[in-house]
Structure 1
Amino acid sequence: MPSLRNAILLTIATTFLYFRIMRTLNFDNYMATYIYFLTCITLYAIYELNYKRRRLPNGPVPWLVAGNMPSFINVNNVDVLFQSWKQQYGGIFTVWIGPIPLVMVSDLPTIKKYFIQHADSFSNRWRNFVTDSIMEGSNGIVQIDGNKWREQRRFALHTLRDFGVGKPLMEQMITLEVTSLMNHMEKSCGLDGKELHLCPSIAVCVGNIINNMLFGLRFNQDNSYMHRLHQLLDDQSHTVMQPIMGAYIAFPVTSKIPIINGEWNRLMGIKNELLEFLETQIEGHRMNWKDEMIEQEPEDLTYAYMIEVEKRKRNGEDVGFFDDQQLKMLLLDLFFAGMETTVTTLKWAFLLMAKNQKVQKNVQAELDSIGQPMIEIQHRTRLPYVQATINEIQRIANILPINLLRTVAEDIEIDGYNFKKGDLIIPQISILMNDPEIFENPEEFNPSRFLDEDNNVKKIDEFLPFSIGRRQCLGESLARAELYLVFANLIQNFNFEVADDVTTERVLGLTVSPVEYSCKITRRGLDHNQNSVK
């Protein structure tokens, strides 16, 4: 760590100065010690507050040692804090996470310049003690770089496309799970409606879609093990954002010290339980493996991975970065990404509908105009208000308060800044989606902002819920289809209400969730000829 190296050099230099003062000026020990510590503090303050910041974009002045971390204490909404920094320092600024600089790029032209035009320099991932411990080294697809990342991403994209992502087969798979969810909800809420915790049921629905693609596996809505897996993902998302994680990253030895390693043990317990689930699935696939599978279409991504390895071996080709460890961690990444972001967005979707009854009724009116028992992807062009509402849900939910961290791949000078290899830098899309210069009254839930004067869906370039550049979400098309089909069909068939005291408070994690809530769900009576049946 550069700051640690510089601190050591500073200590050596000031210690040398200390002895020189004692010898040449004949100060007594007290005076020499006083000058020594005063010199150390002065030099350290100059280094921290000025020298180390000179090559990076300006930003809020960091505290000694703590950086800008004290600014996050007792902040109700980090989005407001980030907006204030953007207004004060411009579209690119530096925030110090303790001794570590994090450059946030928050205006669209600069984001495109850095992460598209100079993607080779600004698309690496930040590896640290926490990420390496979870992924057991450089594995998976989210936290890897270079040739391994390109090979594994290419494989994942190709395989997911084969399983129907972006094709009619994907819609059939999603519709099956949506139908199962609606049947479960209808049974649970009865004829007169009932207050329910909707989020676990949504998690099973979305989880079954990704489980089917990864393992050929699905769970019933009342399956307690699937609910446990969802809870583990939620817990992991919130645990990794605990402030103590910074200490584990900077000083890994703290993960072994009793009392302060409680969160670490909790995180490793979550990881081990998730890996136990994945290892069970992989072992089941190995037990059911037959040699003739190599000539057949794979049933799921796990079999596709095994087939790819076997084909390369039989053809005498290099297996590249394909191995058992990488398979397990690739599945972990895809399982987490395939559930967490979509489930969290849908949690916000139905909460926002319940809190905004007028919007809910407008959405239902447009859906009723289709006159079909199931809303399909082909109907999307006839549902501009529904599309605008989903866009506004994603903008308001803004589930990534801090984008996944990227690092500089090589030393580069750009716009007068001198970035060093390994510096943290991110496209801070959460600032864009809350920028009052782009979205008037950004705190207001207003789907109409995404419609033009002809009532068509309006493209807003700063609306980037799936990020941008080479690290853009590889499951974007799947996520868009899930959000649309789950949201549209549930809103068409049910009314959602919440008590007045239910808040839209944001709970910080890797993704930002609403506070756990229950809502009254009532079946809408429709004959699908655009007539409500009372």
Structure 2
Amino acid sequence: MAFMEAILLQGFSTSALLGALLLFVVVYLLFSGSRSQDEEQEPPGPKPLPLLGNLLMLDLKKVYVSLCELSKQYGSVFTVHFGPKKVIVLAGYKTVKQALVNLSEEFGDRDITPIFHDFNKGFGIVFSNGENWSQMRRFALSKLRDFGMGKRGSEDKIIEESMYLREEFEKFEGKPFDTSLPVSLAISNIISSIVYGSRFEYSDPQLHEMVQRAYENMKMVGSASIQLYNMFPWLRPFVKNQKQIVNNLRDNYKESEKLIKGLLKTLNPQDPRGFADSFLIQQQIEKDSGKKATLFHMQNLFYTVNNLFAAGTDTTTTTLRWSLLLMAKYPQIQDKVQEEIDRVIGEHQPVVEDRKKLPYTDAVIHETQRLANIVPTGVPRKTTCDVHLNGYLIKKGTSVFPLLVTVLKDENEWETPHTFNPGHFLNKQGQFVKKDAFMPFSAGRRVCLGEGLARMELFLFFTSLLQAFRFTPPPGVSEDDLDLTPSVGFTLNPSPHKLCAVKRS
């Protein structure tokens, strides 16, 4: 059986497996034959086995692929049991939009699985609910705007960092290299400058360690063993990846603590340098006012900062790496991008204002986000009340997967959904056009906090790099040999590869 094989491959001991099987038998005898009284009103789905649910039908390495196949049989709203846990899956643009946008409040909570609880303990922004989420998100949005997130202030930071990244690429002198580390360092520095008010040198081992731990965690969170842990939390003692994730998080928090202690020594309430300073100032304001129950405590600061680093670094880094790989894969598209950049902006440094004058380049970036579909299942939601969707009842507290891959590749919305086609975002006159089914940042009240910053980063880094370099496969490797099969983790990264960045004359 596939799931047994996955357990063994992920490092579970034989005794643990036997124990799990024994527990399965006991639970099977206790619960076999039980049915929900409201089953007829609820979304359809494959019949679950006791305890295992529909586990035998799922490829734990590519769950989103299994769910896409099930949607063809059961429709746009269906039920899947991940072990004993019932999950409602939403498929297709119209259904996902109805839930996340039109019923934003009803589908507005985060489903905090065991591994995400290990990440945040209910604090921070991404994996919290209720008043904690509301206050932290509202404060973060306000203060991040103060520091130019998505505006001119962050534009200057990104332009400066793009110059450092170009210098880093030049060091390889046109020889093959892995783009992942230099791109990760650059994107991490943008978050660092917004959070702490300063950037790291690319040679700084502290930055390398932070980036490496974040990368490892994103990869392990999508592993088969972690998905089994989410279904059966009692497996925790046997899941090596869970221990490694927690250790990495602990090390990250220690690094954050050192940096924040350094900020405290030179904190000026009249001149905050970044988000962390603003949080510390607000913390002191509430303390001075005598407020006893405050959410502005150090745990929330550490978890929020790490949310910003993890979410703000991995997704943008992954998308930018996909864009460079796709340029090497499709040189004729790279030709058109570079022709447009040369013709419109020449040698001057790209700025955000250039976006409206570069419709083809903008279309290529959007199409990269669409095709790469780096968070295919979306981040799980949870219903805040009983809600009806497409004629089905979804009960309060139910886990919901908005299957974003079925939005970004909806055959009713995209002409060639499985092909890299910048024309999806261009009209007949070659002008850029927005598409409602473009939802790489999700939608509704849980839409990505850093969407504006990410869009700016992708445009400025991509145009700056394409202005300076021609991206090609390594010598002896053809464009056809470049593999677009993703490497599965919590996000879909490109498979390991190397590119040549040949300096343009």
- Relative to the length of structure 2, the TM-score reads 0.88
Give, in angstroms, the shift of residue 79 of structure 1.
5.0
Q: What's the counterpart of residue 362 of structure 1?
A: 336
Give, in angstroms, the shift of residue 234 of structure 1.
1.4
Q: Once the two structures are superposed, what CA deviation does each residue of 1:81-137 show, in whole Å capped at 9, x if it has no partner?
A: 4433333222222222112122122233333332233322211112243222221x2
SS of structure 1 residue aligned to 2:432: coil
What one-letter code is carried by the residue in structure 1 that aligns with 2:106?
S
2:213 paired with 1:232: yes
1:444 to 419, 423, 435: 419
Q: What's the counterpart of residue 452 of structure 2?
A: 477
Cα separation, 1, equivalents of 2:28 and 2:462 = 58
Cα separation, 2, equivalents of 1:374 and 1:99 = 55
Cα separation, 2, equivalents of 1:62 and 1:440 = 36
Q: What's the counterpart of residue 254 of structure 1?
A: 235
What one-letter code is carried by the residue in structure 2 that aligns with 1:388?
A
Q: What's the counterpart of residue 295 of structure 2?
A: 321
CA 1:195–1:98 in 2, change beyond 3 Å: closer, same or farther?
same
> Contact conserved, 1:91 with 1:106, CA < 8 A, in 2?
yes
Q: Once the two structures are superposed, what CA deviation does each residue of 1:294-323 show, in whole Å capped at 9, x if it has no partner?
A: 2x1310111100111212333445663111
2:52 paired with 1:66: yes
Q: What's the counterpart of residue 101 of structure 2?
A: 116
CA 1:134–1:79 in 2, change beyond 3 Å: closer, same or farther?
closer
CA 1:507–1:61 in 2, change beyond 3 Å: closer, same or farther?
farther
SS of structure 1 residue aligned to 2:176: strand
Q: What's the counterpart of residue 178 of structure 1?
A: 162
Q: Once the two structures are superposed, what CA deviation does each residue of 1:298-349 show, in whole Å capped at 9, x if it has no partner?
A: 1011110011121233344566311111111111111111101101111111
What one-letter code is carried by the residue in structure 1 that aligns with 2:485?
E
Alignment of 1:343-422 (within 5 A): 343-369=317-343, 370-422=345-397
2:241 to 242, 247, 263: 263
Q: What's the counterpart of residue 31 of structure 1?
A: none
Q: What's the counterpart of residue 88 of structure 2?
A: 103
Q: Which segment drifts farther, 95-104 or 246-255?
A: 246-255
2:34 paired with 1:47: yes
> Contact conserved, 2:60 with 2:224, CA < 8 A, in 1?
no
1:210 to 182, 185, 191: 191
2:261 paired with 1:283: yes
Q: What's the counterpart of residue 88 of structure 1?
A: 73
Cα separation, 2, equivalents of 1:115 and 1:360 = 35
Cα separation, 1, equivalents of 2:398 and 2:60 = 27
Give, in angstroms, the shift of residue 52 of structure 1.
7.6
Cα separation, 1, equivalents of 2:118 and 2:420 = 40
What one-letter code is carried by the residue in structure 1 that aligns with 2:208?
H
CA 1:490–1:362 in 2, change beyond 3 Å: closer, same or farther?
same
Q: Once the two structures are superposed, what CA deviation does each residue of 1:447-506 show, in whole Å capped at 9, x if it has no partner?
A: 112111111112221111111000000100000000000011101110111223331111
Alignment of 1:299-318 (within 5 A): 299-317=273-291
SS of structure 1 residue aligned to 2:501: strand
Q: Which segment drifts farther, 361-370 or 144-153?
A: 144-153
Give, in angstroms, the shift of residue 419 of structure 1.
2.4
2:467 to 492, 499, 504: 492
SS of structure 2 residue aligned to 1:195: coil
Give, in angstroms, the shift of residue 208 of structure 1.
0.4
2:503 to 507, 523, 527: 523
Q: Which has the higher contact order (CA 8 A, sep 6+)?
A: 2
Q: Which segment drifts farther, 504-513 or 98-107?
A: 98-107
Cα separation, 2, equivalents of 1:263 and 1:80 = 23
Cα separation, 2, equivalents of 1:95 and 1:333 = 29
Cα separation, 2, equivalents of 1:169 and 1:318 = 35
Q: What's the counterpart of residue 139 of structure 1?
A: 123
Q: What's the counterpart of residue 189 of structure 1?
A: 172
Cα separation, 1, equivalents of 2:106 and 2:366 = 31
Give, in angstroms, the shift of residue 371 of structure 1.
1.6
Q: What's the counterpart of residue 410 of structure 2?
A: 435
Q: Which segment drifts farther, 79-88 or 472-481?
A: 79-88
SS of structure 2 residue aligned to 1:248: helix
Cα separation, 2, equivalents of 1:109 and 1:126 = 22
Cα separation, 2, equivalents of 1:247 and 1:366 = 48
SS of structure 1 residue aligned to 2:34: helix
Cα separation, 2, equivalents of 1:244 and 1:225 = 29
Alignment of 1:127-166 (within 5 A): 127-135=112-120, 137-166=121-150
Cα separation, 2, equivalents of 1:468 and 1:519 = 34
Q: What's the counterpart of residue 506 of structure 1?
A: 486
Q: What's the counterpart of residue 455 of structure 1?
A: 430
> Contact conserved, 2:44 with 2:79, CA < 8 A, in 1?
yes
Cα separation, 1, equivalents of 2:411 and 2:64 = 12
Give, in angstroms, the shift of residue 430 of structure 1.
1.4
Give, in angstroms, the shift of residue 410 of structure 1.
2.2
Q: Which segment drifts farther, 221-230 or 383-392?
A: 221-230
Give, in angstroms, the shift of residue 194 of structure 1.
1.2
Q: Which segment drifts farther, 379-388 or 303-312?
A: 303-312
CA 1:415–1:356 in 2, change beyond 3 Å: closer, same or farther?
closer
Give, in angstroms, the shift of residue 267 of structure 1.
1.6
Q: Once the two structures are superposed, what CA deviation does each residue of 1:362-410 show, in whole Å capped at 9, x if it has no partner?
A: 1000010122331111111110000110011001110002111111112
Cα separation, 2, equivalents of 1:511 and 1:44 = 35
- Of all paired residues, the percent bearing the same amino acid is 31
Q: Once superposed, which parts of structure 1, at least 4 consecutive aligned residues long, lie more than 6 Å away?
A: 40-43
Any unmatched runs of 5+ in structure 1? 1-37, 526-534
Give, in angstroms, the shift of residue 154 of structure 1.
0.9
Q: Number of residues paired by the alignment?
A: 474
Cα separation, 1, equivalents of 2:245 and 2:262 = 26
Q: Which segment drifts farther, 205-214 or 455-464?
A: 455-464
Q: Once the two structures are superposed, what CA deviation does each residue of 1:404-460 show, in whole Å capped at 9, x if it has no partner?
A: 111111234454433222210132221111122222332211111211111111222
SS of structure 2 residue aligned to 1:189: coil
Cα separation, 2, equivalents of 1:213 and 1:427 = 30
Give, in angstroms, the shift of residue 173 of structure 1.
0.6
SS of structure 2 residue aligned to 1:103: strand
2:48 paired with 1:56: no
Give, in angstroms, the shift of residue 64 of structure 1.
4.4
Give, in angstroms, the shift of residue 199 of structure 1.
1.5
